[in-house]
Structure 1
Amino acid sequence: MKQVGIPHGLFYYYYYPLWKTFFTDLGANVISSSTSNRLTLDQGIKLAVDETCLPIKIYFGHVQELCQQHLDYIFIPRLVSVEPKSYICPKFMGIPDMIRAAFDNLPLLIDITIDVSKSDRSLKRDIMRVGSLFTKDNSRIKQAYTHACQENRFCHLLAREGYTLAEAISLWEGQQVQNPASGDLNIGVLGHGYSLYDSYISLNLIERLRKMGCNVFLPESLDTGCIEQQAATVPKRVFWTLGRKMVGSALYMDKRPDIDGIIYLA
């Protein structure tokens, strides 16, 4: 059985159920790095160039942890666009190249390019190419990807119930997660998921607020149609996927009388 490592950082919180399901359905064993901690950061700082942001440095630390495992592959996608006419931070495009340049003991990388800004045809071709590393059965690859997308949607439905994406992943994996307690103060919390849902980067902000008696409202718990509607009110379209989500969420929360305040984690 082939071993595939997935770093516990960046878009892990948005797409881990998808890729774990895909590789598992093709017969691989998926291993993720542990949650972020001081060692993750220290290792990432040593390996990444100074100009990279903190989440990318953390990501390098996760890759370093996986390099200590006996893996056949590490999955590091080249993220360009995850929706039509919108894009991800340009630094994400170069992560596979930066990782190759920084590590000497690196297993083979699966660096599929994800760019659906204009069409998903190239993504579908790459899905088949990656799947062929594990099986020559094209039908099985297509079924695995269809199932993976279904599992990822289910995980996001859990987040609509008020769980963080990290908590939704834990629930999806069969772990017990305590229901968010009901409080007296309603606080909207915004931020990029790779910072907001990483308890080390965010200093466990969401759990701290809950312990203080706050009901926490997150972008994933809001109606996506309302978010897009509010984001469309700004004079110029925000073409960064996560940036538009934050702008739309902030405007939508601001108009809701039941939300008492908003915190943005930079």
Structure 2
Amino acid sequence: MKITIGIPKALLYYRQFPFWKTFFETLGAQVVVSPRTNSTILNRGLEAASSEICLPVKVFYGHALHLSSRCDYVFIPRIVSIEKDAFTCPKMLGLPDMIRALPKPPKVLTADFNAKKKRKYIRRALLSLAAPINNNPVVVYRAYRAALAEAKSFKKAQLNGHLTSDILASKAKKPVNNKEEIKIGVVGHHYNIYDSYISLNFLERLRRQKIKIETVENIGHEKIVDNLKSLPKEIFWTYEKEVVGGVMHWLNTKSVDGIIYLLSFACGPDSLIQVLLENEARKHEDTPLMSMVMDEHSGEAGFLTRLEAFTDMLRYKKTKSVAS
């Protein structure tokens, strides 16, 4: 009987799922994914997590607990860094320990990944993850190569203009339609944007208004890095670097009509980056930026009112520009 590996549909799922799914399945395991976030999963997370932590981590708690009785292991890697000059968010570093500290924790499968260390440490981490499934180094290497190929295909689809949520749902086969009236850059942590429950179905609401959506994942890494060079000080969080570089690319190129920044209440890095982005946006009045803060108490009515007011303003602005 195959060993089952549970992957929570939260946090790094929206960045790394294709890689890890391919890796574990090539090893011979069965991958089990938690369902989309719903009220039951959210409430389980709220009950288990400390009230001080951000909403996405509370959601992650709920997904991990949902999987605890449905698989042999819940996969929770400790991602310290994915590039040598920056770190991931502190919550990524502590997730395995935080879940293990629960009164009735799931069986956690984890390993440390730190791009600041030599490649041999990555090999050790992969072998450690594979040990309960298949400890043959040749098979592990083959699984790693297959996972890299899948991750490359995933990234290629993103650069072709497809949204991450569509790719993961296998809805990204058709060419991207560029006939929408206005184009909005949507920025924020991937789990804030693509979890339709905590974002109040944000992306679908934009699509219903016939709005073209572009995210940071659709921008090449080189463009993001180039736009960060003008900052007076380096940013030390990888995901925040992507957010800032993406927004500065849109502001400098004027390639979108407006920008919406989705962020979580109680997220330390988000709160700092928000100030930086709003200061940068003031220097580029042609491209409005709106920040929308989300937590478990977010009300749909107020959220929709702000969203509709922003998109109506962009349409009016574009119509006025064309007329003149």
TM-score, structure 2 normalization: 0.77
Residue aligning to 2:110: 111
1:243 and 2:240 equivalent? yes
- Alpha-carbon distance between aligned partners in 2 of 1:100 and 1:194, rounded to the nearest angstrom: 22
Residue aligning to 1:126: 125
Aligned-residue CA RMSD (Å): 1.6
User: Cα 1:210–1:57, aligned 2, differ >3 Å: closer, same or farther?
Assistant: same
Work out the number of aligned pairs and report it: 261
SS in 2 for 1:102: coil
Report Cα offsets for 1:190-231 as digits up to 9, x if no partner. 000011111112112122112112111110111211111001
Output the amino acid matched with 1:142: Y
1:250 is displaced (CA, Å) by: 0.5
User: Cα 1:227–1:6, aligned 2, differ >3 Å: closer, same or farther?
Assistant: same
- Alpha-carbon distance between aligned partners in 2 of 1:121 and 1:199, rounded to the nearest angstrom: 38
1:177 is displaced (CA, Å) by: 6.7
Q: Decide which of 186, 207, 212 is 2:209's aligned counterpart.
A: 212
SS in 1 for 2:101: helix
Q: Which has the higher contact order (CA 8 A, sep 6+)?
A: 1
SS in 2 for 1:117: coil
- Alpha-carbon distance between aligned partners in 2 of 1:124 and 1:105, rounded to the nearest angstrom: 27
User: Cα 1:257–1:91, aligned 2, differ >3 Å: closer, same or farther?
Assistant: closer
Residue aligning to 2:83: 83
Query: What residue ranges of structure 1 are gaps of 5+ in the alignment?
Result: none
- Structure 1 stretch 219-228 or stretch 113-122: which is displaced more? 113-122
The 4+ residue runs of structure 1 with deviation greater than 2 A are 117-121, 175-182
Output the amino acid matched with 1:40: I
Question: In 2, are the aligned partners of 1:86 and 1:241 still within 8 Å (CA)?
Answer: yes
- Alpha-carbon distance between aligned partners in 1 of 2:188 and 2:105, rounded to the nearest angstrom: 33
Q: How does 1:226-237 map to 2 (within 5 A)?
A: 226-237=223-234
Question: In 1, are the aligned partners of 2:165 and 2:194 still within 8 Å (CA)?
Answer: yes
1:72 is displaced (CA, Å) by: 1.4
User: Cα 1:49–1:178, aligned 2, differ >3 Å: closer, same or farther?
Assistant: farther
1:188 is displaced (CA, Å) by: 0.6
Residue aligning to 1:197: 194
Query: What residue ranges of structure 2 are gaps of 5+ in the alignment?
Result: 264-324
Report Cα offsets for 1:62-94 as digits up to 9, x if no partner. 01110231x211101112111121111112211
SS in 1 for 2:203: helix
1:100 and 2:97 equivalent? no
Residue aligning to 2:140: 141
